[in-house]
């Protein structure tokens, strides 16, 4: 391949371009992004950037020195795989290899779109609109007690806002964690002075008020909707690129799509995990760092006839919420057995998931060493002794 074109200039797109150069690719690399800003990192948006502790979070990458051509403020509109052309707002762009890295976008709350004072938190523009809300210590209602909702609530409390979090499920993070693990997290909201209302549904949003389906009216100078994200793939309709059940690009184990010479990586894609025996769609930062290295290796390797690399990581992510550092490695299913290390009411604890005696996942709160040691054991598929595992004073070790 002489011309690689990357659609989407977020973490996954930028890392793909950088990894291509690191791995010795000498052809042209063109990175096309819809947002007008210099490519930036998202995790700081719900943390330092929101609180005004950091101006922005632009990636520290010298695109010019790396010979990466940036085309910003230019959305991709479609792919014509037969012609090897990416159509964009600025016209057609021919490619030899195309990488889809358009990420994800927030799910909209019906009845809230367009109401003044309703925000989401995905982009730098979103964070910049929310900064003054925090600076003015406005009363905010957060819809959704997921990762973004928890992190926004944390920052808003730190800024001195009155914060109410409305969650339809009976607990925070209901989509990600089982009840026994998420239950202790509910107390974190109250500890931080935020009100968490579970089993509460938003009926509608009026300017200045969130109305719940039981008639409760919550005053809100601002409303932040954090009810999940979905892959930004609508622009691929009619292209022939196969999408999966969540509308994501369904890639294969080498991160290739269903059409020739087109790869997909990051939040917009899913891949079959041999390790976990299911297709994974991961909306976390580390996946947008690791996946691009496989994509770049396969683009570079295709020219030399090398066997393509398989992408089968142990997923990892972190969250900073309510003064706690939460880290997760691996992937669990509801049938897996949990083993606790430490007291869930205390400041630091870990929960481990075992499948047939092997460690498959772990969530550590304020126990980074468990995460590091556990990550390696998950990678190795180590068999654990549940009794030893349950002793938080013992380092994590294989049986």
For the CB of residue 47, give the shortest distance to ligand FAD in the complex, in Å.
Answer: 7
Which is nearer to ligand FAD, 204 or 324 (by Cβ)?
324
Residues 6+ apart with CB under 8 A from 299: 1, 4, 20, 25, 97, 99, 263
Q: Does 331 bind ligand FAD (CB under 6 A)?
A: no
Output phi, psi for 257, to 5 deg. Answer: -90, -175
Q: Distance between CA atoms of 195 and 376, rounded to whole angstroms?
A: 38
Q: Does 33 bind ligand FAD (CB under 6 A)?
A: yes
Q: Does 34 bind ligand FAD (CB under 6 A)?
A: yes
Q: Distance between CA atoms of 143 and 39, rounded to whole angstroms?
A: 28
Q: Does 350 bind ligand FAD (CB under 6 A)?
A: no
Which is nearer to ligand FAD, 157 or 339 (by Cβ)?
157
Site for ligand FAD in 180-199 (CB under 6 A): none
Determine contact, residues 129/117, Cβ cutoff 8 Å: no
3-class DSSP state of 21 = helix
* Cα–Cα nearest to 144, from 161, 121, 124, 128: 121
Q: Distance between CA atoms of 275 and 259, rounded to whole angstroms?
A: 25
* Cα–Cα nearest to 14, from 30, 28, 25, 26: 30
Which is nearer to ligand FAD, 117 or 292 (by Cβ)?
292
Which is nearer to ligand FAD, 103 or 313 (by Cβ)?
103
Site for ligand FAD in 360-389 (CB under 6 A): none
Number of residues that bind ligand FAD (CB under 6 A): 37
Which span sits near ligand FAD by CB under 6 A: 42-50, 244-252, 363-371, 373-381?
A: 42-50
Among 120, 197, 283, 293, binds ligand FAD (CB under 6 A): 283
Site for ligand FAD in 201-220 (CB under 6 A): none
How many CA atoms, within 13 angstroms, populate the side-chain half-sphere of residue 52? 11
| Residues facing 40 on adjacent strands | 58
The contact mask relative to ligand FAD for 76-105 (x = CB under 6 A, - = no) is x------------------------xxxx-
Q: Does 68 bind ligand FAD (CB under 6 A)?
A: no
Q: Does 251 bind ligand FAD (CB under 6 A)?
A: no
Q: Burial of 218 by CB count in 10 Å (0-12 exposed, 13-18 middle, 19+ buried)?
A: buried
For the CB of residue 327, give the shortest distance to ligand FAD in the complex, in Å.
Answer: 9
Binding site for ligand FAD (CB under 6 A): 7-13, 32-35, 42-43, 45-46, 75-76, 101-104, 121-122, 148, 232, 235, 266-268, 283-286, 288, 317-319
């Amino acid at each position: 391949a002489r011309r690689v074109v990357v659609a989407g200039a977020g973490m996954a797109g930028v890392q793909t371009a950088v990894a291509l150069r690191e791995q010795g690719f000498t052809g042209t690399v063109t990175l096309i992004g819809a947002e007008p800003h210099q490519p930036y990192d998202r995790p700081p948006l719900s943390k330092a950037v929101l609180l005004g502790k950091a101006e922005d979070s632009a990636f520290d990458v010298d695109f010019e020195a790396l010979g990466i051509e940036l085309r910003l403020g230019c959305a991709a509109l479609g792919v014509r795989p037969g012609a090897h052309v990416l159509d964009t707002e600025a016209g057609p762009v021919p490619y030899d290899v195309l990488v889809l890295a358009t990420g994800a976008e927030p799910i909209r709350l019906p009845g809230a779109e367009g109401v003044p004072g309703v925000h989401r938190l995905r982009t730098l523009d979103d964070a910049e609109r929310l900064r003054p809300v925090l600076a003015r210590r406005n009363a905010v209602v957060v819809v959704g007690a997921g990762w973004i909702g928890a992190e926004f609530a944390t920052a808003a409390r730190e800024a001195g806002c009155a914060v109410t979090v409305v969650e339809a499920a009976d607990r925070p993070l209901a989509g990600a964690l089982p009840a026994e693990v998420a239950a202790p997290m509910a107390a974190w909201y109250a500890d931080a002075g935020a009100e968490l209302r579970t089993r509460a549904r938003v009926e509608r949003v009026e300017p200045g008020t969130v109305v719940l389906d039981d008639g409760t009216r919550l005053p809100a100078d601002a409303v932040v909707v954090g009810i999940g994200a979905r892959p930004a793939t609508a622009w691929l309709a009619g292209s022939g690129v196969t999408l999966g059940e969540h509308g994501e690009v369904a890639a294969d184990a080498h991160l290739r799509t269903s059409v020739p010479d087109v790869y997909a990586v990051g939040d917009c894609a899913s891949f079959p995990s041999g390790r976990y025996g299911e297709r994974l769609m991961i909306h976390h930062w580390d996946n947008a760092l690791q996946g691009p290295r496989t994509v770049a290796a396969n683009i570079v390797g295709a020219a030399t006839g090398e066997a393509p690399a398989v992408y089968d990581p142990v997923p990892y992510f972190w969250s900073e919420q309510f003064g706690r550092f939460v880290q997760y490695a691996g992937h669990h299913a509801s049938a897996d057995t949990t083993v606790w290390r430490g007291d869930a009411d205390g400041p630091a604890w870990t929960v481990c998931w075992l499948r047939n005696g092997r460690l498959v996942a772990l969530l550590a709160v304020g126990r980074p060493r468990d995460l590091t040691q556990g990550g390696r054991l998950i990678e190795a598929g180590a068999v654990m002794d549940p009794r030893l595992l349950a002793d938080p004073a013992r380092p994590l070790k294989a049986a």
